[in-house]
Structure 1
Amino acid sequence: MPRRTDTRERVLRAAATLFQTQGYHATGLNQVLAEGGAPKGSLYFHFPGGKEQLASEALALSGGEMCDLIKAALDAADEPEAAVGAVLQALADALEASDFTAGCPVATVALDAAGDSEAIRTACERVYASWTDTISDHLVGHGVAADRSAALAVVLVASIEGALLLAKTRRDVAPLHAVGAHLRRSIAEAVR
């Protein structure tokens, strides 16, 4: 018999995937439960705050996984500009593998529901902050001034978000490669 935490994890992962591909409003709770293989009563048992709590936790999960990918790429590369290329290539590969349905794990929900729900807006803000903080800290470690690192990290995340949106819309990863080339040059100049 599956443990309660297994059910919670399955529901959370199903929700993260569905919110990423469909957005907040288009994702129904019955669909989440069906995809997660969970009985109907389990949703409010595990997520008493309902859909908002589920979305907030799903964003934290998928956003944390993306932050881990960013950190791993930064740590694995000799130079920060090479890490940016690795992150963009990983995103391009994931987008192609999903047949262009899964872009950023946060953007679809942010565009769809952040204006309607303070809890969701805050969850999105926390995820984006974790990404920019991770990038900024890495750049500071490579000698870039803290204020410049923070600004550059925002430019990187915003550029990558835009490139993902264009790539998803065009069903072509070329925007990710174009933005990647530009960002690599910008980072190389910043760390000199």
Structure 2
Amino acid sequence: MDTKSLIIDIATKLFQQKGYMGVGLNEILKACNISKGSLYHHFPNGKEELLIACLQTLNEAITTDIEDIFQRYSTTQEAAIGMIEQLIMKFETEGTLTGYTFSSIVSEMASLSDPVRMACAQLYQKIQHIYSNKLAADGFSKDTASSIALMMTASIEGGMMLCLTQNATEPLRVISKVLPNMIKEF
């Protein structure tokens, strides 16, 4: 792994675990075993530029996972259940959903930095687009598919945060049962 990728990988984990404000540059440097000059070589604008690179990497990883899952199932309901089951399994085996949620970064930084807010918005838009496309393939109109996709994104992301705060999978299990019925009712 090259130095830039190493920095992004380690910083992403630190930001997800401790939040943007909770991670100092020195902690990143120490965890990566690099100098300040090396970090600024790759990220001349510092920590915020690094955060945006981390969000872009998360964007790619998360949406690739979602796309893979949604291609394996014939309907949105089946795909959503499959994705939620994967999240539950990850939480049960690893005790966390690091790598799948970035809500803590959004809540911490969105009002402080337009570039960070926009990077987060792009990820949510890409997730909703995946959902919306699958819903359109299921026969929903573009507007209805867009509305359901927004609801799915909010429900699943909120469910992940509730799992983390409750240290339990029950929120995602409930969403897995309720979400398919909500989609049918639309």
What range describes the TM-score normalised by the shorter chain of this pair? over 0.9
Query: Shift in Å at residue 42 of structure 1?
Result: 1.1
Q: Alpha-carbon deviations, 1:28-63, whole Å to 9, x = none?
A: 222223323333321110011211111111011112
Partner of 2:180: 184
Q: Is the 8 A contact 2:97 2:160 kept in 1?
A: no
- TM-score with structure 1 length normalisation? 0.90
CA pair 165-148 structure 1, distance change in 2 beyond 3 A: same
Q: Does 1:16 align with 2:15?
A: no
Q: Is the 8 A contact 2:152 2:179 kept in 1?
A: yes
Partners in 2 of 1:137 and 1:159 — Cα distance? 18
The amino acid that maps onto 1:119 is P
Partner of 2:37: 41
Partners in 1 of 2:31 and 2:92 — Cα distance? 22
The amino acid that maps onto 1:160 is I
Partners in 1 of 2:95 and 2:58 — Cα distance? 19
Partner of 1:56: 52
CA pair 187-104 structure 1, distance change in 2 beyond 3 A: same
Q: Which runs of 5+ in 2 are unaligned?
A: none
Partner of 2:82: 86
Q: Is the 8 A contact 1:96 1:173 kept in 2?
A: yes
Query: Shift in Å at residue 104 of structure 1?
Result: 4.2
- Root mean square deviation of aligned Cα: 1.7
The residue correspondences of 1:102-141 to structure 2 (distance < 5 A) are 102=98, 104-141=100-137
CA pair 117-136 structure 1, distance change in 2 beyond 3 A: same
Query: Shift in Å at residue 81 of structure 1?
Result: 0.8
The amino acid that maps onto 2:120 is C
Q: Does 1:26 align with 2:22?
A: yes
Partners in 2 of 1:35 and 1:67 — Cα distance? 27
SS in 2 for 1:41: helix
- TM-score with structure 2 length normalisation? 0.92
Q: Alpha-carbon deviations, 1:148-182, whole Å to 9, x = none?
A: 01110110010011111111111000100101111
Partner of 2:69: 73
User: What is the percentage of aligned positions where both structures have the same residue?
Assistant: 28
The amino acid that maps onto 1:35 is A
Q: Is the 8 A contact 1:95 1:103 kept in 2?
A: no
Partners in 2 of 1:154 and 1:19 — Cα distance? 25
How many residues are matched? Answer: 186
Structure 1 residue corresponding to 2:161, chosen from 156, 162, 165? 165
The amino acid that maps onto 1:45 is H
Partner of 2:146: 150
Partners in 2 of 1:159 and 1:69 — Cα distance? 18
SS in 1 for 2:111: coil
Q: Is the 8 A contact 1:13 1:36 kept in 2?
A: no
Partner of 1:100: 96
